[in-house]
Amino acid sequence: MSAEHNVIDLDGKDRQPAGRTAPVRLAASRKWNVWLVAAFVVGIVLGGVGVGELRDSREERERKGSVSLVAFPASTGSGGADATDVLQLDGQLAVINAGPAPITVNSATGQRPGVQVHNTGQPRLLRPGGTAWISVKLRIECALAFGSEPLSIRFSVETADRQVREVSYPVAVAGSAWHQGAERPCTVLADLAKRHG
């Protein structure tokens, strides 16, 4: 009797000879490996897409929440004096949205020795690159107002993501439209003070 008899596996369902089961298991193992590699590749692709979407979402939130603005005195209007050398004037502040998303300027206030400013108008929506003229009340002490120190104006701003943020911007008062508008009244007040003093 030869040692090369085929052995029948009685436990197996397909009742194949023992010599034939090894290639079937090898083929099944290869299919399983292909499925694992495919699942791994799909996972990498989906993970990459997910990370990209998260990054894009975060960048969009940062873009909507950023505030960048520029402000400068635009004009002065009517007013009067409430003390010997103190002017109360109406004026305008020009505000430019230098950021990438729309903002709404709710308020603008500033104070330093000699100058006080606060807005008097309604909130103003500014598109990116847009300019708004905000109505303000100015209180100017002629003797102190026009030094070289800038006036820091604090803005309350609502961003595109509906968050309210406080930002400040330094505004030069000396040589500005506010300075030019106050020069003549300040000169008149100084002359009156000399005559009465």
pLDDT in tens, 92-106: 999 999 999 999 999
Q: Which residue has the higher pLDDT, 40 or 97?
A: 97
| Residue range 168-172: mean pLDDT, rounded | 93
- Which pLDDT score is estimated for 16? 52
| Residue range 147-166: mean pLDDT, rounded | 90
* pLDDT at residue 11 is higher than 70: no
Please report which confidence band the pLDDT of residue 115 belongs to, taking 50, 70 and 90 as the band edges. Answer: very high
Among the residue ranges 35-39, 44-48, 80-84, 177-181, the one predicted with the least confidence is 44-48
- Which pLDDT score is estimated for 186? 84
Return the closest-CA partner of residue 92 out of 114, 66, 74: 74
Q: Which residue has the higher pLDDT, 87 or 78?
A: 87
Average pLDDT over all residues of the chain? 80
* pLDDT at residue 71 is higher than 90: yes
Q: Which fold has domain 67-196?
A: Immunoglobulin-like (2.60.40)
173 touches 146 (CB < 8 A): yes
| Residue range 75-94: mean pLDDT, rounded | 84
- Which pLDDT score is estimated for 142? 86
Burial class (CB in 10 A: 0-12, 13-18, 19+), 129: exposed
161 touches 65 (CB < 8 A): yes
Residue spans of the domains in the chain: they are 1-65, 67-196
* pLDDT at residue 89 is higher than 80: yes
Q: Which residue has the higher pLDDT, 31 or 173?
A: 173
As beta bridge partners, residue 104 has: 125, 158
As beta bridge partners, residue 170 has: 152
* pLDDT at residue 165 is higher than 60: yes
105 touches 121 (CB < 8 A): no
